[in-house]
C-alpha cells in the first residue's frame, strides 16, 4: 500500500486495537447512540432516528429489563432466571449468550451501548435515552405475549411503577382516551 495515500483516519484505524471504542462512536448526553421508547413492543431507534428492528422477543424484553434496571444493569443470573427460568441452568446461560450476540448484531454500530462481563449485562447509560411511554402504562410491552411467569411478574411490576410515576396530565389524557374508546363501543 502506498503510504502517501494514507490519511490520518486510515492510520489510526490501522493502529487502534479492535477492543477500544472509537471516540466518534461515543454518545454525548444530547445525542445518544440508542433511543429506547417504552411502548407496546419497545421501539428502538439509532442515533439518526432510524428504527432498529429486533426480531427476537426475548431480546426486546432483555433491553427493556436492562433499561429499567438500576444503572441500566442486571446480573446474568437475574436475566437468565427471568427470561429462561424454565430451562436448565446451563441451557439458560447459553441462550442468554446467544441472545446477547444476536442483539449486538442487530444493533449495528449502536452495539457499543450493550456491554457485558462475566457477572453483569448493562446498557451504557450515557449512550442510551430511555423514554417513558406516552400512553397508558398498561400498554408497556403489550405486544410481548406468552411470557414465562418470572418475566410476566416483572412486567406487571414495571407497569405498576409507570402508573405511580404518571403526571396528572398523563392520567387525564389516558382517562380521556379510555372514555372516547368506551363511547365509540356504545
What lies within 8 Å, CB to CB, of 107 at 6+ separation is: 34, 44, 46, 52, 113, 114
What does the domain layout of the chain look like in residue ranges?
30-152
What is the secondary structure of 4-66 as a DSSP string?
GG--HHHHHHHHS-TTSPPGGGSPBTTB-SEEEE-STT-EEEETTSPBPP---HHHHHHHHHH
Residue 155 CB-density burial (10 A; 0-12 exposed, 13-18 middle, 19+ buried): buried
- Please determine, for residue 38, whether its predicted confidence score (pLDDT) is greater than 80: no
Does residue 31 carry a pLDDT above 70?
no
What's the pLDDT band for 172 if we cut at 50, 70, 90?
low
In tens, the pLDDT along 115-132 reads 999 999 999 987 888 776
Looking at per-residue pLDDT, the higher value among 181 and 12 belongs to 181
pLDDT band at 177 (very low <50, low <70, confident <90, very high): low
> Containing H/E element for 109?
none
Sequence-separated (6 or more) residues with CB below 8 Å from residue 125: 71, 72
CATH class, range 30-152: mainly alpha
pLDDT > 80? residue 166: no
Most confidently modeled of 33-42, 85-94, 123-132? 85-94
SS (H, E, C) 119-167: CEEEECCCCEEEECCCCCHHHCCCCCCCCCHHHHHHHHHHHHHHHHCCC
Percentage of residues of the chain with pLDDT beyond 70: 70
pLDDT (0 to 100) of residue 158: 85
Amino acid at each position: 500500500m502506498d503510504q502517501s495515500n494514507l490519511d490520518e483516519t486510515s492510520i489510526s484505524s490501522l493502529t487502534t486495537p479492535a477492543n477500544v471504542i472509537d471516540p466518534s462512536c461515543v454518545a454525548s448526553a444530547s445525542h445518544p447512540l440508542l433511543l429506547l421508547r417504552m411502548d407496546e413492543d419497545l421501539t428502538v431507534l439509532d442515533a439518526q432516528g432510524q428504527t432498529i428492528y429486533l426480531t427476537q422477543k426475548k431480546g426486546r424484553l432483555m433491553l427493556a429489563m436492562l433499561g429499567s434496571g438500576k444503572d441500566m444493569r442486571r446480573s446474568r443470573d437475574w436475566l437468565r432466571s427471568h427470561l429462561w427460568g424454565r430451562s436448565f441452568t446451563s441451557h439458560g446461560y447459553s441462550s442468554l449468550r446467544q441472545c446477547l450476540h444476536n442483539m449486538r448484531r442487530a444493533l449495528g454500530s449502536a452495539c457499543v451501548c450493550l456491554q457485558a462481563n462475566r457477572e453483569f449485562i448493562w446498557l451504557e447509560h450515557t449512550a442510551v435515552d430511555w423514554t417513558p411511554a406516552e400512553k397508558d402504562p398498561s400498554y408497556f410491552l403489550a405486544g410481548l405475549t406468552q411470557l414465562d411467569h418470572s418475566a410476566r411478574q416483572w412486567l406487571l411490576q414495571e407497569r405498576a411503577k409507570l402508573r405511580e410515576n404518571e403526571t396528572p396530565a398523563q392520567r387525564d389524557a389516558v382517562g380521556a382516551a379510555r372514555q372516547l374508546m368506551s363511547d365509540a363501543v356504545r
